[in-house]
Amino acid sequence: MKLDPTRRRVLELIAHRDPPTDLKKASIACGKNHAYLHQFVHRGTPRKLPEDVRHLLAGHLGVDESELRDGAPPKVVSSGARQATEMTTRRAVTYARALTIDNDPAVAAVPEVHIIASAGGGSLMDQEQRGENWYFPVSWLHHELHADADNLRIISIDGDSMEPILEAGDKILVDTSRKAPSPPGIFVLFDGMGLVAKQLEPVPNTEPARVLIRSANARYQDYERTVDEVSIIGRVVWFARRV
């Protein structure tokens, strides 16, 4: 997409802001989801920035809002008008800074944990959570995924045993509160050998209770474990893939 002057100006101001910012942080500062400005700049949605977003973004970037107005050159203002503009900008900055994940009920942070859920040979699980946060609308988490953000983690897929459903490099959203393999689904689990992402389903009428562990890729054989032999981390409820 060819960028118009307004979109180029947004990227320029973000690149040179001190302290540093990016499209994600600027989107949150405007009270929007983390992808809002990326979609505006690179996908043309929305076509124009709404007035309230324009003022908040200008405050976050420390410029007059006229610099972000389509087709309009920056305003030349008198000292009195400049004072009024600066006051408006300060208010916008204060409001933008207040819009953090902690006190904005519309958006929730989900940490990306730096462990590998292997869809191949397996790998040992590192419990440390030290990845960047992903941001999701709370209403979407509740209504679409029936999930609470506190129970969610983002993990990367490694291996090919779940192709074509999941591919190496995919990011999966794991609900750690959902550990029962009923109904059957895709789970992240430690199977005694390593951390894997597999299709799980209970084996009926077994004592002790057993689970069937399946791969989507026909090159890999199914196998069973007793419930006590596996540790289910959570159910996969969503994934993202680079195109």
Cα gap 188→207, rounded to integer Å: 23
Tokens of residue 221, six digits: 């054989």
Q: How confident is the model at residue 71 (pLDDT cuts 50, 70, 90)?
A: low
CATH code of 202's domain: 2.10.109.10
pLDDT grade, residue 219 (50/70/90)? Answer: very high
Give me the pLDDT at residue 238, please.
95
One domain for residues 125 and 206: yes
Is 228 found in the same domain as 119? Answer: yes
What is the Cα–Cα distance from 232 to 196, expressed in whole angstroms? 10
Residue 63 clears pLDDT 60, i.e. is over it:
yes
Tell me what pLDDT residue 131 has.
64
Is the domain of 125 the same as that of 71?
no
Domain assignment present for residue 55? The answer is yes
Report which residue type is found at 221.
Answer: Q
**Rounded distance, CA 205 to CA 203, Å?**
7
| Residue 92: inside a domain | yes
Within a domain: 142: no
Same domain flag for 119 and 211: yes
pLDDT in tens, 101-151: 455 668 888 988 876 566 665 554 444 565 678 889 999 999 999 999 999
144 in any annotated domain: no
Q: In terms of domains, do 119 and 68 share one?
A: no
Q: What is the pLDDT of residue 121?
A: 55
% of the chain surpassing 90 pLDDT? 36
Residues 231 and 117 occupy one common structural domain: yes
Tens of pLDDT, residue by residue over 8-19, are: 889 989 888 888
Band (pLDDT 50/70/90 cuts) for residue 226 is very high
Answer yes or no: is pLDDT of 54 > 70: yes
When pLDDT is cut at 50, 70 and 90, the band that residue 96 belongs to is very low
Give pLDDT, residue 154: 92
Tokens in use for 109?
Answer: 């942070």
- φ and ψ of 201, to 5 deg: -150, 145
In a domain, 104, yes or no: no
The string of pLDDT tens digits covering residues 152-198 is 999 999 889 999 999 999 999 999 999 999 899 999 998 888 889 99
Res 194: pLDDT: 80
Number of domains the chain is built from: 2
The per-residue pLDDT for 33 is: 87
Stretch 207-232: mean pLDDT, rounded? Answer: 93
Is 188 within the bounds of a domain?
Answer: yes
Residues 178 and 220 in one domain: yes
Peptide bond into 164 cis (omega under 30): yes
User: Does residue 174 share a domain with residue 124?
Assistant: yes
On whether both 9 and 92 belong to a single domain, the answer is yes
Co-location of 61 and 116 in the same domain: no
| In-domain check, residue 147 | no
159 falls within a domain: yes
The pLDDT of residue 236 is above 90: yes
Reading the block at residue 65, the tokens are: 């809002």
Structural domain that includes position 168: 111-131+152-240
Tell me, yes or no, whether 125 and 189 share the same domain. yes
Q: For 199-214, how does the pLDDT look when each residue is reduced to its tens digit (9 = 90+)?
A: 999 999 999 999 999 9
pLDDT of res. 2: 74
Q: What pLDDT sits at residue 107?
A: 85
Residues 193 and 232 in one domain: yes
